[in-house]
Amino acid sequence: MTEVQAAPRRSEVVDAKRIVVKVGSSSISGDNAAQIEPLVDALAATHARGAQVVLVSSGAIATGMPYLQLDARPSDLATQQAAAAVGQNVLIFRYQHSLDRYKIVAGQVLLTAGDLENPTHRSNAQRAMERLLGLRILPIVNENDTVATHEIRFGDNDRLAALVSELIGADLLVLLSDVDALYTRPPQEPGARPIARVAFDDDLSGVELGDIGSAGVGTGGAGTKIAAAKLAAAGGTPVLLASTGNVAAALAGEVTGTWFDAAPRPAR
């Protein structure tokens, strides 16, 4: 684990041919819904240089809440499902409306944990994703909250993004949040220092975890992002943790955020 003085290997960002980007609910819903346009700007620039891009986007429940006159995230499963059904429709419309500026077509892909555990469903999902990418469609992936149950949920979309990275053999996973990097302790606390790079075998035992993201609308935190980064890295995909506000710089290869080294992929 090194601190910000050492620059990560950002050439791997520019050279990546297949990139998964994950954005959380708090970054693109409510008062932050306007962040969709600059996020799309960054995705479109990456798409324009020839990379294949997949967006894993949370936010269906948070986006649907105002339409159900809800002031807070519902706690019961049925209302979560209803909010997701409404919000997913609005969310995809917002993304496509923004992507229209670049003549990029989005493809909606909704998954449950069972889809990636069942070999037949997993194969079908993989085939669909490969075809979408081959057609230069930008897949937008989310958990299928309308039909998912507590027992079969991914738990958070950070983990979903890591599993999607594995599914499609991504060269890079970018996890976006409200915080610009992983810190040695919660960033609002005195003495917190940003971490520039995490070696694959670093257990981060010296890091004091706090939440990443705004409370009330999402389900993730620093712990889920580290777990997802470690999961993707174990499968051979390096991970960059950055803020949604810095997504353009991150995808352009500038030095920002925290880089997680990947384990060497086994020879094929």
Q: Is 118 annotated among the ligand-binding residues?
A: no
Q: Is 15 annotated among the ligand-binding residues?
A: no
- The pLDDT of residue 135 is 98
- The pLDDT of residue 149 is 65
Residue 198 host element (H or E): strand 194-198
Q: Is 145 annotated among the ligand-binding residues?
A: yes
The β-bridge partners of 194 are 183
Q: Is 115 annotated among the ligand-binding residues?
A: no
Prediction pTM value: 0.90
Q: Give the per-residue SS3 of 76-87.
A: CHHHHHHHHHHH
Report domain extents, the chain.
2-256
Composition of the chain by helix, strand, coil, percent to 5: 45, 20, 40
Q: Is 11 annotated among the ligand-binding residues?
A: no
- The pLDDT of residue 112 is 85
- The pLDDT of residue 262 is 95
* 10-residue stretch averages of pLDDT, the chain, 268 residues long: 52 96 94 96 98 96 95 90 94 98 97 89 96 98 80 73 96 94 88 90 76 47 88 95 96 94 76
- The pLDDT of residue 145 is 79
Q: Is 178 annotated among the ligand-binding residues?
A: yes
Could you say which of 3.90.1150.10, 3.50.50.60, 3.40.1160.10, 1.10.10.10 is the CATH number of the domain covering 2-256? 3.40.1160.10
